[in-house]
Each structure stands twice: as structure tokens, then as C-alpha cells.
Amino acid sequence: MSENTGTLTSHLWSSSDLYRNAVLELQEAAETMKLDPNIASRLQVPKRAMIVSVPIRLDNGSIRVFEGYRVQHNMTLGPGKGGIRFHPEVNLSEVAGLAMLMTFKCSLVGLPLGGAKGGVRVDPNQLSRQEAQALTRRYTTEINMIIGPDKDIPAPDIGTDAQHMAWMMDTYSQEKGFAIPGVVTGKPIEIGGSLGRAESTGRGVVYTIQHAAKHLKDTGKPGPKMDGSTTVAVHGFGKVGAVAALEIHQLGTKVVAISDVHGGLYNKNGLNIPDILSFMGKNRTFVGYPEAEAITNEELLATPVDILIPAAIDGVITAENVGRVKATIIAEGANGPITLPALKQLEERGCFIIPDILCNAGGVIVSYFEWVQGIQNFFWSEREVNAKLAEVMENAFKKVIDVRSHYNCGMKTAALIAGVDRLNRAMLLRGLFP
Ligand code: NAD
């Protein structure tokens, strides 16, 4: 048998940019930290993946079959944890890449959880509420044998929310015969959700930005003051981006640009985020909001701001547009929004990157709190949730800064090393079965 060189050979996993990017970043971290090559090769591929067909009856009476996935990347530290994405471009490789990021994220922030991810290849905007419910329930049934409170615990991601989690929890519980809230997180409060979960990812993004601004100040580097002189642009105004925009607006900084898949808004004097959210409450969109000009997503990315928060999808800052990006801090609210070549250019330029597995970890941290509260049937106040979230995020931020100065590497590599290091020790201790 020839020696395993750790080279990624399977096209099955590596067909998406997101997966390839995640592996290249892992390889760079592995080289920098001199990771045991046997561990490195195991981490490049997921432990287990399931592809399911999800047939549902549409409102017009016809039957349509969607493709669904659940990938468990690594479960050394505990049950799998990761969101469910409903998006027309979801595929096995992308889900595998996202599951890999979840492994390193959970490890970095010290959770007793492994990395997983799921998805259905569907445009959720084309589904009626009834069709969305049927799709969610049938998908849950199809992946039923690999999820559970002790096995793998889904949560919301792009295109899914607390209502989808309620349907998943109900479907799983119906099959078992009693209520099992711990099978998913990001549930509505009424059925065992946690206070502060809905806001946790966006809130965590803002905590890391505050730490970054303080770090730059403490180390004598130019950085934002986090007051009315600081400008921010938010790409993707969804569950993560809208909360981050609101929280950072409430700190007194100026959010000058926001966008969603259809386009964006700009006001050089700062957008009134609470007012935009109430406009959206009435109109379901911010299109037509009077106190701003319309801009495109590309214009948003090129807006001269201090802080850019990409909080939509992966691969938005690329070698092609990175030259136009002017922000001094980029907070990766989304998973994988910066491609590797673009990252190198930004780092060379001195841009401070807050890596996704650190920046958006607030969601999985409070998901973990939700899971713990559910197991104990003992629920915490929102103040307690937020205080614990802030503490975990601060420790993780400090850990990444320490690793960065130890290895003299970029923030992205440092975050991965911090995540991989804990996992590496656990994998070596557990050994290889059989
Ligand atoms: P969401 O569906 O609530 O919001 C996504 C937003 O991005 C929407 O405003 C959408 O219109 C916009 N968008 C989609 N495609 C776009 C494009 N091509 N250009 C510009 N805007 C676009 O999703 P979310 O839960 O906010 O997730 C956003 C990102 O954050 C994803 O990468 C997700 O994996 C990551 N994330 C989410 C959580 C969470 O708790 N929801 C946790 C960690 C990471």
C-alpha cells in the first residue's frame, strides 16, 4: 500500500470553491503549525455524508423531488452541529466544506461539539409556506437516522429560520412519540429555544469588531474609533447582517450601506437601521426606503468605509474585486466570503481580517447554550446568555491573537490553528479505531 500523501483526490468532495478554499486554508495552517500529517489527511475529508431525495407535493398537485444533504465532518469532540441551508446552489461539496468550517469553529470556541452541515437544493423564495413545511418535514424524515440530540443537532442557516426548526423538531418528535427539543437549536422560545439565540451571530460579529478595534488601538495601528466618525457597510441584510447592522448602529457608528440579494441602500450620513427594519416590517423589503440612494452589491463592496461586514454568502470578495475594497477591518459574518487569493492581497495591504470561524461563532455558541438549557430544562435570562456569549467570544479572540503572534501568521491561519490544535490533541488521545 502506498503512503497516504494527504492529497485530496476525491472529486466528490472537492467540486466547490468553498470546499477547495477550506482545504487550502487547512493545508496552510497544517504546514505552519507542523501538524501531524496523519491528522491533516483525516481532517481534509468528512467522516460521513448522506444524500437524500426529498419528494413533496406542490400546491398545484404535482410532485417535485429535491436533493438534500447532511454531512458530518468530524465528531471527535461531541455530537455534530451545523445549520441547514435552503438555497438553489447547495451541493454536496459546499455542504462538506461548511461542515469542515463548523468542526474548526466549535473546536476554536471550546465547545464539546463536532462539525456538520445540511442543505436542500431549492429556492426557498419559490415555495409556499405549506410547501416549505412539507419539504422540511420530509427532509427531516430522510436524515432522521443520523440526527438526534446526542448525534447531530441542526440549526438555521441561509433560507431557514426558527419556524423550520420548529417543523424539524416536531417531525423528529412525532416519530419518537414524545417532545425532543434538543434535536435542533435556533427554535422558537415557546418550544425550548434560548433567549438571545436569534441575535447571537450578529451580536458576536459586533463583539469581535469591538475587540479588533481595541487591539489595533492597543498595538498602535490605525483603526476605527467606534464612534460617529466610523463608517460601516453590511453586505447581506439577513439574520446575521441585519442584527450586526442594528447592534453596530446602536454603538453610535455610522452604517452607511446595506444590501441583500436584490441590491443595496447608501446614505453617506448613516442609515437609520431601526427605521429601515420597521419599513421592512411593513413592506417586506427595503426597496423604496426614502432616506437613501439605491446601490448595487458591487458598489457596496467598494464603498469607502472603515469596516466591511460580508454577511451573505461565500466567495464575494475575489481577486477581481479585491482591489476596489477599501475597508481597514473586514468581519467575516458569512462563511467563506473572501477567496484565498483575495485574502492574501488584503493581508499584504494590512487589512485586519476577522476570520469566519471566529467572527460568526456567536450563533453556534448560543446554540450550544440552547442545547444545554434544553437538556437541563433550566432556562437562562437573556442577560446571562449575552454575558456568557461575550466571555466565550473574548477568550476565543484573545486565543487567535496569541496564536497569530506565536506563529507570525495571518488571522485566518491563526484561527484555524487555534481550532485544529485542540482537535488534534483530542484525536491523538482517542486514537484510530480499530
Ligand atoms: P439569511 O438567509 O437570513 O440572509 C442572507 C442575506 O444575504 C439576505 O439578506 C440575502 O438577500 C442576502 N444575499 C444572498 N445572496 C446574496 C448575494 N449574492 N449578494 C448579496 N446579498 C445576498 O442567512 P443568514 O443566516 O443571515 O446567513 C448569512 C451567512 O452567515 C451565511 O454564510 C451563513 O452560513 C452564515 N452564518 C449564519 C449563522 C446563523 O446563525 N444564521 C451562523 C453562522 C454563520
Q: For the chain, how many structural domains are there in total?
A: 2
pLDDT tens, residue by residue, 190-205: 999 999 999 999 999 9
Tell me whether residue 66 is in a domain: yes
Residue 310 and residue 240 share a domain: yes
Tell me whether residue 164 is in a domain: yes
> For a pocket test of ligand 1, which of 17, 261, 338, 366 has the largest count of ligand atoms closer than 8 A to its C-beta?
261
pLDDT tens, residue by residue, 18-58: 999 999 999 999 999 999 999 999 999 999 999 999 999 99
* Ligand 1 neighbour 363 (Cβ under 6 A): yes
pLDDT greater than 90 at residue 8: no
For residue 4, what pLDDT is reported? 43
What ligand 1 atom has the least distance to the C-alpha of 156? 41
Residue 216 and residue 169 share a domain: no
For residue 11, what pLDDT is reported? 75
User: What CATH code is carried by the domain that includes residue 73?
Assistant: 3.40.50.10860
Residue 13 and residue 98 share a domain: yes
* Ligand 1 neighbour 239 (Cβ under 6 A): yes
Domain termination site, one of 319, 354, 389: 354
C-alpha cell at 292: 437613501
Tell me whether residue 332 is in a domain: yes
Residue nearest to atom 31 of ligand 1 (CA): 334
For residue 236, what pLDDT is reported? 98
* Ligand 1 neighbour 317 (Cβ under 6 A): no
pTM for this entry: 0.96
* Ligand 1 neighbour 260 (Cβ under 6 A): yes
Residue 287 and residue 161 share a domain: no
The predicted model gives 107-132 an average pLDDT of: 98
* Ligand 1 neighbour 337 (Cβ under 6 A): no
pLDDT greater than 90 at residue 2: no
- Single out the residue of 202, 223, 207 nearest to residue 352, CA to CA: 223
C-alpha cell at 258: 446595506
pLDDT tens, residue by residue, 79-102: 999 999 999 999 999 999 999 999
318 falls in which pLDDT band (50, 70, 90)? very high
Burial of 96 (0-12, 13-18, 19+ CB in 10 A): buried
Residue 305 and residue 235 share a domain: yes
- Residue type for 257, please? A
Domain termination site, one of 146, 180, 214: 180
Domain hosting 92: range is 2-180
Tell me whether residue 207 is in a domain: yes
**Cβ pair 418, 108 in contact under 8 A:** yes
pLDDT greater than 90 at residue 3: no
For residue 111, what pLDDT is reported? 98
pLDDT greater than 90 at residue 7: no
Tell me whether residue 282 is in a domain: yes
Residue 223 and residue 345 share a domain: yes
Residue nearest to atom 16 of ligand 1 (CA): 261
12 falls in which pLDDT band (50, 70, 90)? confident
Residue 136 and residue 242 share a domain: no
Residue 128 and residue 87 share a domain: yes
Tell me whether residue 109 is in a domain: yes
Å from CA of 177 to ligand 1 middle: 34
pLDDT tens, residue by residue, 292-308: 999 999 999 999 999 99
Mean pLDDT score across all residues of the chain: 96
Tell me whether residue 16 is in a domain: yes
Q: What percent of the chain has pLDDT over 90?
A: 97
Residue 69 and residue 203 share a domain: no
How much is the CA Rg of the chain, to the nearest whole Å? Answer: 21
Residue 107 and residue 38 share a domain: yes
The catalytic residue among 47, 81, 105, 117 is 117
Tell me whether residue 18 is in a domain: yes
The predicted model gives 157-181 an average pLDDT of: 97
Domain termination site, one of 327, 354, 381: 354
The predicted model gives 112-119 an average pLDDT of: 98
**254 in active site:** no
For residue 5, what pLDDT is reported? 43
Residue 274 and residue 329 share a domain: yes
pLDDT greater than 50 at residue 6: no
Residue 208 and residue 78 share a domain: no
